[in-house]
Amino acid sequence: MKQTPAGRPTLETVARAAGASRATVSRVVNGSTTVRPDIEERIRRAIAELGYVPNPAARSLVTQRTDSIALILPESATRVFSDDAFFPGVIRGVGEALEKADKQLVLLLASTRSSHDRILRYVHGRTVDGVVLASMHGADTLPEELRLAGVSVVTSGRPLGEATVPYIDVEHASGVEAAMRHLIGLGRRRIATISGPQDMVAGRERLAGYLAGLEELEGAAPLVEEGDFMRQSGMEAMERLLEREPDIDAVFAASDLMADGALRTLRRLGRRVPDDVAVIGFDDVETARFTDPPLTTVHQPIHEIGTRLAEQILRLVAGEEVEPAVVLPTTLVVRDSA
């Protein structure tokens, strides 16, 4: 069979070629299992020979599905696409899982209130079947607003307030406590931290892990400077810590990028790592293996987080029950910096 000069083949074209009704062809295209196998085979053969491609808009009217999932990141493009940060790994994990399920990933950035409102309008237009949210700051109302609008939502990280939608997170505090035990076991006594933003659960829980670990050192006072998880903030925070306490002999940074920044400041100021100052990060991104020296860090399964987020949202969209909270383990990876 050959396509006629009329142009793009339609359901009617396929129906005539297969000797079936338009309604039957439509059922096959939309995945119905009620069509007789021999008729379905004729229709699928006609679809292949004619090169028929379903019209997505028309199909969504029938199925009430767009086959698209939005990944919303309340961050700037600069932060999201920074080299070897947390986000690329999550995006890969979500994207690969959706691709296997034959779904489309729609990436949306919402770093301002106006973009927040724009995204609400976009999602309310039923342009996606569900939403994955990551990197929430403060008491972000977006998950609850989407839920109340009837949109399926899963978040990466526990919200600061009450969790009203399912989420995937990791064991932040216990991972940091393991890092602190390692530093104390190395004989370090003046341990500082470069914390993450305190308007994020990850920042708060990693600081809590540092404070809990510090209790093992009798009389030790906390030494804290806050960063924003990015490299530049780690460089600046390390310098402030050394100005306050020149005898620091270890530092835990709440992200690998901040740890890399700390390493650069220590090297610039003539401090040897780990001889003078031991350094541990958190994330285990690719950068951690190539810092100078290679970085000891708390590994979190970033790609798996993305995969799990995709699996959860697909189940919700399909009307299935999901666990309200999934918390993945973290592990200490020892390299040369501590």
What three-state secondary structure class fits 73? strand
Which is it for strands 325-328 and 331-333: parallel, antiparallel or unpaired? unpaired
- Strand-pairing partners, residue 167, are 155, 325
Nearest residue to 294 via CA among 304, 283, 305, 280: 280
Residue 142 burial (CB count, 10 A): 20
The pLDDT score that the predictor gives to residue 3 is 38
User: For 21-112, where are the alpha helices, taking DSSP H only?
Assistant: 22-29, 37-50, 56-63, 77-80, 86-100
pLDDT tens digits, one per residue of 266-315? 999 999 999 999 999 999 999 999 999 999 999 999 999 999 999 999 99
- Distance separating the N- and C-terminal Cα atoms of the chain: 69
The pLDDT score that the predictor gives to residue 31 is 67
Q: Which domains does the chain have, with CATH numbers?
A: 11-54 (1.10.260.40), 68-169+303-328 (3.40.50.2300), 172-301 (3.40.50.2300)
Angle at 33 between CA 29 and CA 34, to 5 degrees: 105
Under the phi-then-psi rule, with left for phi > 0, alpha for psi from -120 to 50, and beta for the rest, what region is 267? alpha
Q: By the 8 A CB rule, do 197 and 137 touch?
A: yes
Angle at 208 between CA 202 and CA 211, to 5 degrees: 145
The pLDDT score that the predictor gives to residue 318 is 86
The pLDDT score that the predictor gives to residue 94 is 95
DSSP output for 90-120: HHHHHHHHHHHTT-EEEEEE--SHHHHHHHH
Q: By the 8 A CB rule, do 262 and 194 touch?
A: yes
- Which residue in this structure is represented by tokens 């690969």? 96
The pLDDT score that the predictor gives to residue 4 is 41
* Spans in the chain with pLDDT lower than 70: 1-7, 31-32, 55-65, 83-84, 113, 139
Residue 177 burial (10 A CB sphere; 0-12, 13-18, 19+): buried
Please list, in sequence order, all residues whose beta carbon lies within 8 angstroms of the beta carbon of residue 247, skipping any fewer than 6 positions away: 190
The pLDDT score that the predictor gives to residue 50 is 87
Residue type for position 61: L
The pLDDT score that the predictor gives to residue 87 is 87
User: For the chain, where are the alpha helices, taking DSSP H only?
Assistant: 11-18, 22-29, 37-50, 56-63, 77-80, 86-100, 113-124, 142-148, 172-185, 201-214, 231-244, 256-268, 302-317
